[in-house]
Amino acid sequence: MKIKSIFTNGAGILLSRIFGFIRDLMMASILGANIYSDIFFVAFKLPNLFRRIFGEGAFAQSFLPSFIASRYKSIFATHILLNMLGVIISLSIIVGLFALPITQLIAPGFSQDTILIASKYLAIQFWYLPLIFLVTFLGALLQYKEHFVTTAFSTVLLNISIICGLLISRDMPKDKILLILSYSVIIGGLLQVVIHLIVAHNFKFIKMLWIGLISLRRYKEKIVEDTQRFWFNFFPAIWGNSTTQVMAFLDTWLASFLTSGSISYLYYANRIFQLPLALFAIALSTAIFPSIAKYIRHNDEENALKQMKRGFWILLSLLSLATIGGVIFSQEIIWLLFERGAFTRADTTETALVLQMYLIGLLPFGLAKLFNLWLYSRHEQAKAAKIATYSLGGYIIGVLLFFKTLGAVGLALASTLSGFISFILILYFFGWSKFKNFLEKKLLSIFLFGIVVSGILMWGVHIVLLHYFNI
């Protein structure tokens, strides 16, 4: 297992999330949890949805195995880049032209005046999508060389850009703040593209793409099979990877019918939830995916399973501790990070409850990231798509059960329910017999003992904090 790669990814994600929390802290203080913050989060929701679909799996997990298998890598890579970029730019133009009805679809509970305001920010921010696709594409090529540091650390540039926007606009009217933040998103994307182009040039990928561009027209027929394999896997991979993002999108849609601030409660809680998920599950999965894909490509299932087993125990331990600690300290976490300025104690209480519901699903969502690698390495994206469909069905059932009575908390609980359904189905397709071989009695005993002791200690610290700090 590439411990250095996992550490690199984790460190980059941690740095980005630290700046992300600084960004959210400033945003909570300057905008609060109200209609203005709701407008920004709605405008950013659609490009962010596509960013997570591309950046956290669908493209790289379909492109990389196909790229590894291709005999004409430069032509294949160039062909996919031109096709994908053309579609995404066209989509960005369409969103810009029809921003008003699209915003109405995203947040139907908003008033007409609020939708009109939010639509212009959506039209600006959606241009972040073609930029982040370029970052994702170049990052996938760098993954092939097992170079992770650039992609891992470049995500901090978006947060730095938004922080600068907040500092510049903090004393301005709220509509001016939202406008500057929208352009800050685009600037952050441009910075990410530039740093990836520099590093890709150093690895001679720009030269490779240029050769592919020159050769594409003449030798296009040689990559027909590779291209078909990619597209055949890509569309199911989009659906398979996007369940949590689609549910977050639906959370926003449904929360627009709730009281003002509900969208912000879900956003801030989900930001906390995403930290351990990204820091542990996504960092580890990204680091070991190229190796597993290469093992599977060469029919070396034994070594692929060894990588999976080590990853499983690392994730099981880290995510379990994060779940217990997050649930116990949810009130303290929100209080420490956000309760200042326009963000009140009532906002802290509501956000902490939502966070607790999200965190219950951290373990199944995180482990599902790992076991999905097996399906994608074997070009079984269709199975992942089937799992995603059942998972979304579980979310809808959860919404019907919990939304009316629990509001934003019910939406988070519905998301958690879908996570458990997804994980159980992934294990079914992975194979129960293979999974049972992961569960060594000695390791399981050590794990359970450590979790119980850690839980008791964290609960004790929680009681002390409540007594002395009255959180």
Note whether 6 and 287 are within 8 A (CB): yes
- How many other CB atoms are found less than 10 A from the CB of residue 339? 20
pLDDT at residue number 2: 61
pLDDT at residue number 188: 93
Whole-model pTM: value is 0.72
DSSP state at residue 98: T
Whole-number Cα distances in Å, 129 to 59, 103, 465: 13, 16, 43
CA proximity to 293, closest of 216, 372, 407: 372
Q: Is residue 16 part of a domain?
A: yes
DSSP state at residue 147: -
Q: How far apart are CA 293 and CA 68, in angstroms?
A: 8
CA proximity to 107, closest of 216, 273, 251, 6: 251
Chain centroid to CA 268: 14
Chain centroid to CA 137: 16
pLDDT at residue number 74: 92
DSSP string over 361-415? THHHHHHHHHHHHHHHHTT-HHHHHHHHHHHHHHHHHHHHHHHHHHTHHHHHHHH
Report residue 387 as tokens. Answer: 């799992």
Q: Is residue 377 part of a domain?
A: yes
pLDDT at residue number 248: 73
Q: What range defines the domain where residue 345 resides?
A: 3-439
- Could you list the pLDDT tens digit for every one of the 471 residues in the chain? 566 666 777 777 778 778 877 887 787 777 766 677 777 777 777 777 666 666 556 677 778 888 888 888 999 999 999 998 998 899 889 988 998 888 887 777 777 877 887 888 888 888 998 998 999 899 989 988 888 888 878 888 988 999 999 889 887 887 788 889 889 999 999 999 999 999 999 999 999 999 999 988 888 888 888 888 888 878 777 777 667 777 777 877 787 777 667 777 888 888 889 888 888 888 888 778 888 888 887 888 888 888 888 888 889 889 999 998 888 888 888 888 777 766 778 888 888 899 999 999 999 999 988 888 888 888 787 888 888 889 889 998 988 888 888 888 888 889 899 989 989 999 898 888 888 888 877 677 776 767 777 767 777 666 666 666 665
pLDDT at residue number 3: 64
Note whether 67 and 149 are within 8 A (CB): no
Report residue 272 as tokens. Answer: 């906390």
Q: How far apart are CA 410 and CA 407, in angstroms?
A: 5
Report residue 212 as tokens. Answer: 């592919």
pLDDT at residue number 449: 66
Q: Is residue 459 part of a domain?
A: no
CA proximity to 252, closest of 243, 268, 264, 240: 264
Q: Is residue 448 part of a domain?
A: no
CA proximity to 185, closest of 203, 213, 166: 166
Report residue 84 as tokens. Answer: 């994908």
Chain centroid to CA 381: 18
Q: How far apart are CA 187 and CA 395, in angstroms?
A: 35
Domain count for the chain, please give it: 1
Q: How far apart are CA 32 and CA 175, in angstroms?
A: 14
Report residue 411 as tokens. Answer: 């939406």
Q: Is residue 189 part of a domain?
A: yes
Q: How far apart are CA 191 and CA 131, in angstroms?
A: 9
Q: Is residue 155 part of a domain?
A: yes
CA proximity to 72, closest of 226, 214, 182, 178: 226
CA proximity to 382, closest of 258, 207, 240: 240
Q: Is residue 447 part of a domain?
A: no
Q: Is residue 109 part of a domain?
A: yes
